[in-house]
Every structure is written in structure tokens, then in C-alpha cells.
Amino acid sequence: MRSKGPVWCAKCYLRIAPYAPQTVYHKNTYHPNCLSKLVREEASQEKTVRLGARGTEAGRRKSA
Ligand SMILES: [Zn+2]
């Protein structure tokens, strides 16, 4: 796969050097470090949503 022109990281918006390692995720290009940060953030967001759903359920049981 040939890629011409500069590539920007979709996380930190810095240019990724052609010789530097780059990772493609969801059709966006990231630094490997930035991608790991992004994945962590997404994971924590999922946890928050799940905990929120559980919390609501527990609250209903207590109030009822
Ligand atoms: Zn980056």
C-alpha cells in the first residue's frame, strides 16, 4: 500500500513522519501511542456507560 503526502495523527493532530510507525484504526491514522490512549479512553467511556446503566437499575430497585 503506497501512501503519498503527509499523514496526520487523528488523535494529537501532529504529522506522522513517513518513516515513523503509524497505526490505522477506523480509517484514521494514529501514532501507536496515541491509538493506545484512544483505545483506553473508549474503554473507560464504555465502562462509564455500563456503570451508569447499572446505577440506574440499582437506584430503581432501592426506590421501589
Ligand atoms: Zn498522535
Please state, in angstroms and rounded to a whole number, the distance separating the CA atoms of residues 35 and 49.
21
Each residue of 18-38: pLDDT tens digit?
899 999 999 999 999 999 999
In the reported structure, the alpha carbon of residue 22 is separated from the centroid of ligand 1 by a whole-number distance in angstroms of 9
- The pTM is what? 0.64
- Least confidently predicted of 4-8, 11-15, 24-28, 52-56: 52-56
Q: Which residue has the cell 503509524?
A: 22
In the reported structure, the alpha carbon of residue 31 is separated from the centroid of ligand 1 by a whole-number distance in angstroms of 4
25, three cell numbers: 484504526
28 Cβ neighbours under 8 A, 6+ residues apart = 10
Element of type H or E holding 18: none
Domain boundaries, the chain: 7-63
| pLDDT value of residue 8 | 95
In the reported structure, the alpha carbon of residue 63 is separated from the centroid of ligand 1 by a whole-number distance in angstroms of 46
**Three-class DSSP category at 61:** helix
